[in-house]
């Protein structure tokens, strides 16, 4: 039975995945984000890094030698630096896999085989292991070995064609959503494989093949549907392409997003801002009419919103039950009482890190997240632990 040993440090991390051992040989974002989710749910994650460390350890901003980027996606893990081309390090890595439940990599297809860990050999030696591989285009298909970064997948996956100002150039979404979505789908696949291993697959692990491109396409929803009926969507800035008002509107001091696309919400929004006559205007009386005349409707709404600050209109519309919100920057988010109440801005050294959005009643969160590890800081402990496991 593969039961990972835990030091006192790791026994303190409780969660529904407590008792699971995850070996993470991924780097940068998609794989580390996947294993961060597992760590937040209680799994023990050992981050195996190359001797020089994960490249994001030096990514700005860096305070007191620690990168905020690295801290965010690697908190709560243990670090050991291994050169898998060296026999001693390979032996230690194999000893870890002997007791691991999950292995996560995000190498390009073929790299694991070149390191001496061909998939068939992994499955034969560690049949209980759930092995998740994340790559730009997956393990199969004509583009399988093509290199990729988030920007490339946003472009090739159709997202940039949908993003940007109306009539303008394509724009990358401001967060690395192709990487993040691949990490999310990987975590879902891992949990499904673990559930099956404990049930219908009776102790057998699985191979999980995650393509960033696949994940991006899976999230295109309405755009993909429109393209198949001869209506490929164009860039529309902040507004919904098929409904209005759903856009970012100028106020006296900023922008307010209003999403009042049903008849009821539209009437409530216009009454709240003191323009009830717009609900009766023939141009805006139906959903189709509002979509067709969205520019005229936006001009009417902005003419009113220009008379007051964003906070005023936000409060007014919120009281009326209309979905709306200020377009906020990162400084606003860091001061947000809602996020603080939800434990989503968690202090860790010089930084505040995004917390775990999965709130489980049976597993209260710790006040502070465990920090990200220093490079190779767990070497002595892991050498002793896995040497004992081999003997």
325, 256 Cβ separation under 8 angstroms: yes
Q: In a 3-state reduction of DSSP, which class is residue 353?
A: strand
Distances from the Cα of 176 to the Cα of 60, 146, 290, 338, angstroms: 16, 19, 33, 24
Q: Which residues contact 100 (CB under 8 A, 6 or more apart)?
A: 2, 4, 21, 22, 23, 126, 129
User: What is d(CA 132, CA 100) in angstroms, rounded to the nearest whole number?
Assistant: 13
The token pair at 293 is 């005349």
Instruction: Find the helix or strand (DSSP H, E) in which 9 lies.
Output: helix 8-11
| 155, burial (CB in 10 Å: exposed 0-12, middle 13-18, buried 19+) | middle
User: What is d(CA 35, CA 370) in angstroms, rounded to the nearest whole number?
Assistant: 14
Distances from the Cα of 390 to the Cα of 61, 240, 385, angstroms: 41, 59, 9
Catalytic residue among 24, 101, 105, 179: 179
| DSSP calls for 356-386 | -S---TTSPPPSSPPPPPPTTTTHHHHHHHH
42, 15 Cβ separation under 8 angstroms: yes
130, 205 Cβ separation under 8 angstroms: yes
CA atoms within 13 A on the CB side of 127: 6
Q: 179 an active-site residue?
A: yes
User: What is d(CA 104, CA 290) in angstroms, rounded to the nearest whole number?
Assistant: 48
75, 371 Cβ separation under 8 angstroms: yes
Residues labelled catalytic? 179
């Amino acid at each position: 039975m593969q039961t990972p040993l835990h030091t006192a440090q790791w026994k303190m991390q409780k969660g529904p995945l407590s008792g699971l051992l995850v070996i993470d040989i991924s780097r940068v974002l998609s794989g580390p984000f996947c294993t961060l989710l597992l760590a937040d749910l209680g799994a023990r994650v050992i981050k195996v890094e190359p001797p020089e460390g994960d490249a994001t350890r030096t990514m700005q901003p860096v305070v007191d030698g620690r990168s905020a980027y690295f801290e965010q996606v690697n908190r709560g893990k243990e670090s050991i630096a291994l050169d898998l081309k060296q026999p001693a390090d390979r032996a230690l890595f194999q000893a870890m896999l002997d007791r691991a439940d999950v292995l996560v990599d995000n190498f390009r297809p073929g790299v694991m085989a070149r390191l001496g860990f061909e998939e068939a050999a992994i499955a034969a030696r560690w049949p209980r292991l759930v092995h998740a591989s994340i790559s730009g285009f997956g393990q199969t298909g004509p583009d399988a070995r093509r290199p990729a970064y988030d920007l490339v997948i946003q472009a090739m996956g159709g997202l940039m064609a949908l993003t940007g100002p109306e009539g303008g150039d394509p724009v990358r979404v401001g967060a690395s959503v192709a990487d993040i979505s691949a990490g999310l789908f990987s975590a879902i696949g891992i949990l499904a494989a673990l559930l099956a291993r404990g049930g219908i697959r009776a102790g057998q692990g699985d191979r999980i093949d995650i393509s960033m491109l696949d994940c991006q396409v899976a999230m295109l929803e309405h755009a993909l549907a429109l393209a198949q009926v001869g209506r490929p969507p164009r860039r529309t800035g902040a507004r919904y392409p098929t409904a209005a008002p759903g856009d970012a509107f100028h106020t006296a001091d900023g922008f307010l997003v209003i999403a009042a696309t049903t008849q009821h919400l539209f009437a409530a929004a216009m009454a709240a801002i003191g323009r009830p006559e717009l609900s009766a205007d023939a141009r805006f009386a139906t959903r189709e009419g509002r979509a067709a005349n969205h520019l005229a409707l936006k001009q009417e709404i902005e003419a009113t919103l220009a008379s007051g600050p964003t906070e005023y209109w936000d409060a007014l519309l919120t009281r009326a039950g209309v979905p709306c919100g200020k377009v906020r920057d990162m400084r606003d988010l860091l001061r947000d009482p809602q996020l603080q109440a939800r434990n989503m801005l968690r202090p860790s050294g010089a930084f505040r890190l995004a917390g775990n959005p999965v709130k489980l009643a049976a597993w209260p969160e710790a006040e502070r997240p465990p920090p990200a590890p220093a490079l190779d800081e767990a070497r002595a402990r892991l050498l002793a632990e896995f040497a004992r496991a081999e003997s």
